[in-house]
Structure 1
Amino acid sequence: MKFSSIIYVLLVFSFLTMTALSIYYYLQIQQDKVKISQAVSSGTPLPDYHFALIGEELDHDYWRLVGKGAKQNETEYDVFVEYEGPERSNPEEQLKLLDKAIKKKVDGIIVQALNDEFTPLIDLAVGKGIPVITIDTDSPDSLRSAYIGTDNYAAGQLAGKALIEDTGGEAVVGIVTGRFNNTHHSLRVEGFRDVIEQEAGIDIVAIEESNIDRIGAEEKAHNMLTEHKEITALYGTSALDGTGISEAAESLDRQDLYVITFDTLEENLRLLEKGKVDALVEQQPWKMGHQSVKIMTDLINEKQVKKIHHTNSSIVRKQNLPYRQDLRGGRQ
């Protein structure tokens, strides 16, 4: 193919791509216009502000709680929270949604910043006068105004201390992490390692990524337990990792395996009750979403706002469950 033909093909492809994006954005804008028209026709006053909340994964209980917390604060602060995210964890799709929010000129953006690729777009938004809050995963090198969420390094340390306490400081450990290049998972691994490596009786012999997928976690845990039969404990850095690990352990009849993972979601609480998981690192997704709306409103109204808002983390074991029924209700 001649060079001129290649250029022609690329130009056509670029035109089609831009056309498709234009249509996509047009349809999104029309959907918002319908919502606004319905509010006007019903006599409902329009909210003062329009915020975009961009999560990691819509089809996940954790992010449903984040969205629920934010939406429940709409009335108090007279805002409209447009909650969006990929159906499954996909940083590239999140970046597209962030770009769309900037183009729509929303009043504020609340976004999970999974990696360094989010920094330029966050800075672009701020440069256009749109304040940005990071949620669940921070982007400290960006121009974001504040972060709300777990101290993920400290949460990893908490998991390490729980494993040491529960195993008496004697264990051979495998780690199943969501993604190597996701900042919050990396910090959870780093904090865990820094605590575990101080214990002479504990060794980490393998680490694999699950791609934040239940089947992926089961596959990696199964392979790990098969290749390293000496493993006595597994640590998962996401909610789905824990589910996959427990299924792998059950398929290999490893009832002696110690399992610690993240998030007090309904399925993980059932595994904890049944003894298939030994400990959970509790986060507060509802509070993250709920408080993010207040922080963003304060920013817009030029009130003094702290840069870092760490929500609490704690360890939940089976014996805690009779006293922690609030974990099931969503309001964390």
Structure 2
Amino acid sequence: MKKLLFVTVFAGSLAALAVTLYLMLTIYRGDMDLSDGTGAAPNEHSERIVVISQEQGSYVMNEMQKGARDAAAVHGMMIDFWGVYRSNVEELLKQVDIAIASKVDGIIIEGVDRPDFARLVNKATEKGIPVITINSDVPGSLRKTYIGSDHYREGILMGHHLAAQLKGEGIVGVVMNADTSDTDQLRLRGLREVLNAYAGIRLVFASENAAKLQAGMQTDDILNHYPGVKAFIGLPADSGKSIVEAADSRSKRRASEVFMFDDSPQTESLLRAGLVQAGLSQHYEEMGKMSVDLLRRWLDNDRLPLDASYFTPISVVAAPGAKEAAP
């Protein structure tokens, strides 16, 4: 009788432990945002891929996820969306490591121009997991390809438009991302290449101490040092409102003109209101779709090798009444 009771209690304890572990894993998976799959019905042999974002929940990532999800459904692939908030690079690196340890079939990720990030991309590649970078690149790594805008070309397009709006003269304040990225540098290189032809245009930046601050504070700092600023150009997405408010609060003269490198809903609203003079049209949903399509090609060994980069279309979106620039 005692033996039967012991077996019964032991079996019940094992069952309870199993249920507890299952719930813990389920909760952990939910907390890590690892369970946002497609609506397709893949079989047990379907490839599993993961998309990892630097800015989970942002407009940019939501658009890319939409395109990736639709493409994965077409290809019958399982897809998870992971990500970090507020550009937490250390957490991003951990998630890449988790993806490698999970033996996923492919990784699509926004690149970070850091040696430790490149090493993880190379680690995944050496273990047979293809990595595709999207929206921002790590060209020195073993990633299979990059999909997204040509950021250098973005700078050239915006440089021509800005020069036309300023009629070739004026001080332009540049608001940077708090963590200067390779994307910023490519855009600035394109801008400078165009604007160097205009002796009357000068680019200025926030002081060293203010360069790591938010957009509004950088704008204030630039105005402190260069009160004659005629225009601002913002590199961080969704920074237009902060730039406009900071610039308008400092002067009773005509508000400075503002130019942006994005076409987020916030920027579109400011364009319609005439508070921003131009934005840059991106195609984030197309980036997401193309990244999954090309990963499918790689896994199928179809039409390889892939090109080093696949650039999506870009174009200047001007406020009503703005002067068009030569491309």
What's the TM-score once normalised by structure 2's chain length? 0.81
Contact 2:238/2:264 (CA < 8 Å) preserved in 1? no
Matches within 5 A, 1:98-117: 98-117=96-115
Alignment-mate amino acid for residue 190 of structure 2: G
Instruction: Give the distance between the partners of 2:193 and 2:214, measured in 1 at CA.
Output: 26
* Native 8 Å contact 1:67 1:289 kept in 2: yes
2:67 paired residue among 56, 61, 69: 69
**Residues in 2 aligned to 1:32 and 1:277: alpha-carbon distance in whole angstroms:** 35
Partner of residue 135, structure 1: 134
Q: 1:125 to 1:208 in 2, by over 3 A?
A: farther
The residue number in structure 1 matching 2:287 is: 288
- Look up the match of 1:6: none
The structure where helix makes up a greater share of residues is 1
* Distance across 2 between alignment mates of 1:192 and 1:80: 41
Structure-2 residue corresponding to 1:247: 245
1:262-309 Cα deviation digits (max 9, x unpaired): 211111111011111000011111111111110000000011222210
Question: Could you list the per-position Cα deviations for residues 152-187 of structure 1 after superposition, in whole angstroms to 9, with x for gaps in the alignment?
Answer: 111111111110011111110110011453111221
Q: Any idea what the Cα deviations from partners look like across 1:212-232, whole Å, max 9, x if unmatched?
A: 99x810111122123210110
Identity %: 31
Structure 2 counterpart of 1:306? 307
Larger Rg: 2
Where 1:130 maps in the other structure, the secondary structure is coil
One-letter amino acid matched to 2:106: G
Offset at 1:30?
11
Report the Cα offset of residue 112 of structure 1. Answer: 1.0
Contact 2:34 2:81 in 1 (8 A): no
Instruction: Say if 1:162 and 1:209 are closer, same or farther in 2 by CA, change over 3 A.
Output: farther
* 1:194 Cα offset (Å): 2.0
Unaligned runs of 5+ in 1: 1-22, 322-332
Gaps of 5+ in 2: 1-23, 323-327
Is the deviation greater in 54-63 or in 129-138?
A: 54-63
Matches within 5 A, 1:137-152: 137-152=136-151
**Aligned pairs (5 A) from 1:1-332:** 27-28=28-29, 45-46=43-44, 48-117=46-115, 118-207=117-206, 216-253=214-251, 255-304=254-303, 305-319=306-320
Which string of whole-angstrom CA distances, capped at 9 and with x for unpartnered residues, describes residues 125-157 of structure 1? 000000010111111111111110011111111
Report the alpha carbon displacement of residue 201 of structure 1 after superposing the two structures with TM: 1.0
* Structure 1 pair 221–209 and aligned structure 2 pair: CA distance change class (3 A): farther
Q: CA RMSD in A?
A: 3.1
Larger CA deviation: 55-64 vs 117-126: 55-64
Q: TM-score, normalised by structure 1?
A: 0.80
Q: 2:31, 2:261 → 1: CA distance?
A: 39
**Structure 2 counterpart of 1:135, which letter?**
I
How far apart are the structure 2 equivalents of 1:168 and 1:187? Answer: 24
Q: 1:247 to 1:301 in 2, by over 3 A?
A: same
Corresponding residue number in structure 2 for 1:3: none
